[in-house]
Structure 1
């Protein structure tokens, strides 16, 4: 995946419902603060920074270091180190569901933002540390 070059502010104008748009603005501020990087659109994903990943199978690509997508049903927060790495914190986060590398939040106001900040900070450190044998990462931006 590559950055699409789209305008993040214009993208947010089309996000529905309104709650998702408000949550997106909070997440942009949070991820900007944690990563020290500006938001960039990767299709419909709002990403911060960039990295190159490679699996042992030689499958490889590029993605944001931190990122999320404000979807109609829930906001999807992407965790490159996977949700299992954050099991203890997720137990304290508040209402959410998960996939292998995705955290789904319906209402950001219902979760503990300090816990979310910790999850994102740890995930960023994992990426900047190069990932793991199962997923090698190189920060490129």
Structure 2
């Protein structure tokens, strides 16, 4: 049986998804983040799986032969926190996060409570570096439709 990728780009409406976010402050932040990510990457927001808003995409292939597509960067306004997705292998991430503002980190993501807690310029830098890193690492990526 082949591995089925859970998080695929879908045709679901990003706006509809955000409008269904319970917390009005989170909704507001989600719209702010869409503007920042879209402006920084030049890609439009697309839904990936049921809850990730992604920008651009790249095709990865691991040594194991496992391959798939993923957004270059993205975020998800989850109940507890907002998850920001950047390239995990990008080297300056730790350094940039020092001055990022209030956040916690997970394996591939950075969690924030609200946009007001973070430095937007550093967010833009993290987005730009992730996109550049992934496009260098996976040069066959399709940049955008």
- Shorter-chain TM-score above 0.5: yes
Q: Verify: 1:139 aligned to 2:141, yes or no.
A: yes
29-38 or 53-62, larger mean C-alpha shift:
53-62
Deviation at 1:137, TM superposition (A): 5.9
Counterparts of 1:25 and 1:2, CA distance in 2: 21
Q: Verify: 1:77 aligned to 2:79, yes or no.
A: no
Alignment-derived partner of residue 117 in structure 1: 124
Alignment-derived partner of residue 88 in structure 1: 95
Q: Verify: 1:23 aligned to 2:29, yes or no.
A: yes
Q: 2:14 aligns with which of 8, 14, 36?
A: 8
Higher percent of residues as strand: 1
Assess if the C-alpha contact under 8 Å between 1:83 and 1:102 holds in 2: no
Counterparts of 2:33 and 2:88, CA distance in 1: 19
Q: Runs of 5+ in structure 2 lacking a partner?
A: 1-6
TM-score when normalising by structure 1: 0.89
Q: Verify: 1:49 aligned to 2:56, yes or no.
A: yes
Deviations 1:86-115 (A, max 9, x none): 111101001100012101011110111111
Number of matched pairs: 136
Alignment-derived partner of residue 39 in structure 2: 33
TM-score when normalising by structure 2: 0.87
Q: Runs of 5+ in structure 1 lacking a partner?
A: none
